[in-house]
Amino acid sequence: MAAGKTAVWRTAVWSATYVSFVSSESVSLRGNRFWITLSSLVFAVMLTACDGHGSAFGTGAVTVTPSGNVDCGGRPTLKASGSTAQEYAMARFAKDFERACPGQSVTYTPNGSGAGISEFTGNQTDFGSSDSPLNKDEYASAERRCGSPAWNLPVVFGPIAIAYRVNGRPSLALDGSTAARIFNGGIVAWNDPAIQALNPGVTLPDEPIRVVFRSDESGTTDNFQRYLDTASHGAWGRGAGRQFYGGVGEGVKGNDGAAAAVGRTEGSITYVEWSFAQAQHLDMAEIITSAGPDPVAISATSVGKTISAAWFIGEGNDLAFDTISFYRPNLPGSYPIVLATYEIVCSKYPDAQVGIAVRAFLQSVIDAGQRGLQDSGYVPVPDELKTRLSTAVRAVS
């Protein structure tokens, strides 16, 4: 779906190429830190945790609770916009909301995280979707709009792929510093010695590298540049943010636009949310990390290992993650470029009917909405986080 095109999921028909997976997880929580390890076979979670005083959280599994946990009501139609990485997930979320609450629906515009935040803080939408949490200035704007604190509520996790098109080269390894030099123009040809050194025995073409970047303000861009800034040992040197600072390449709108541009352009490379790379059948680079010399491909297992490094930076019911530790993992086999996607909401809406409807939608999202997300290239919310997330959602009014 083109970025900026409004979709009412009630009538939309969606199709994409997805990679499915099943896995098992072992999760523990100490304070605010998650340790998550995935292995193949069954998508279940053994949960063990202690708070700062040593009390246990107990055990459980990744489950979808009955739709009776959704308190329907409030405004019949909600309006939202933002993250294109969340686009396929939002399609599922809105359909499940409609099933849980007949007569209620969500109209969503996937126009990028920056636009989603701007439209939410500008009171044009009822909630925003973003792949990065609110910054200090945005928190202040959101609080003025809401008349109460705004919260970042993570609803799904997804990896960012470095996708490329080089004929005859379905496998390519990159590390943080080499990727940084590609995306800031320091490396301009596919047969550059730095790329060749990471791919011994592979003949790379003497062709120019055509960088494709997001022209719209994007949480995917923000997360990707944070990865480059953290993992490149100074090679990036451009900082991070929702605008692309590399200074080279062709700008396109949306994850779908970036994936489509690479799909039709020989010698091109981009950063794009995993499900969009899958839908376009794009080749994706394996990433060499600080945890070891072996390149790591995107998979359920490699993404789950990376989530193990996450900390909360928000307080109370504001569940924003500090994802910097994603980007330089200590655990071998961890895929490092991972984002958490958020719904950004008022803790107390000026219009109580909107608050009731937003709460019902979010209850559906963390209930039936989590089912099948793995089929779309996402990682569902693990149960221990879901418990804390449910508490925050119930407090929305």
pLDDT at site 128: 98
Whether 294 and 384 share a structural domain: no
Decide if 269 is inside a domain. yes
Look up the CATH number of the domain holding residue 244: 3.40.190.10
The per-residue pLDDT for range 178-190, each reduced to its tens digit, is 999 999 999 999 9
Determine, yes or no, domain membership for 330: no
Lowest-pLDDT range of 139-143, 241-245, 301-305: 301-305
Instruction: Please give the mean pLDDT across all residues of the chain.
Output: 83
Averaged pLDDT for residues 86-102: 95
pLDDT value at residue 44: 30
- On whether both 264 and 385 belong to a single domain, the answer is no
Task: Answer yes or no: do 166 and 221 share one domain.
Answer: yes
d(CA 127, CA 150): 10
Please state the domain count of the chain: 2
The answer on whether 129 is annotated among ligand-binding residues is: no
Domain, as residue range, for 42: 22-156+341-394
Q: Is 163 among the domain residues?
A: yes
Residues 219 and 230 in one domain: yes
**pLDDT band at residue 216, thresholds of 50, 70 and 90?**
very high
220 is in an annotated binding site: yes
User: How high is the pLDDT of residue 282?
Assistant: 97
Q: Is 84 annotated as a binding residue?
A: yes
Q: Does pLDDT of 146 surpass 70?
A: yes
Residue 176 has pLDDT above 50, yes or no: yes
Q: Is the pLDDT of residue 297 over 80?
A: yes
Residue 83 marked as a ligand binder:
yes
Cβ pair 288, 173 in contact under 8 A:
yes
Query: What per-residue confidence (pLDDT) applies to 223?
Result: 94
Please tell me the predicted confidence (pLDDT) of residue 68: 57
pLDDT band at 323 (very low <50, low <70, confident <90, very high): confident
Residue at a domain's end among 250, 279, 302: 302
Mean pLDDT of 116-120: 97
Let me know whether 163 and 144 are in one domain: no
Domain-located, residue 265 = yes
| Predicted confidence (pLDDT) per residue in 240-274, tens digit | 999 999 999 999 999 999 999 999 999 999 999 99
Q: Looking at the domain assignment, is residue 260 inside a domain?
A: yes
- The predicted pLDDT at position 220 comes to 92
Hey, how many other C-beta atoms are within 10 angstroms of the C-beta on 293? Answer: 10
| Dist. CA 151–CA 349, nearest whole Å | 12
Q: Are residues 118 and 179 in the same domain?
A: no
Q: Is 2 within a domain? A: no
Q: What is the pLDDT of residue 26?
A: 30
CA count, 13 A, side-chain hemisphere, 362: 32
Higher local confidence (pLDDT), 124 or 330:
124
CB 101 within 8 A of CB 360: yes
pLDDT in tens, 10-54: 223 232 322 322 232 333 333 343 333 333 222 232 222 333 322
Judgement on whether residues 151 and 188 belong to the same structural domain of the protein: no
- Asked if the structure places residue 171 within a domain, the reply is yes
In a domain, 308, yes or no: no
State yes or no: 113 annotated in a binding site. Answer: yes
Spatial CB neighbours of 197, under 8 Å, sequence gap ≥ 6: none
- Residue 169 CB partners (closer than 8 Å, separation 6+): 202, 204, 205, 283
Are 39 and 144 found together in one domain?
Answer: yes
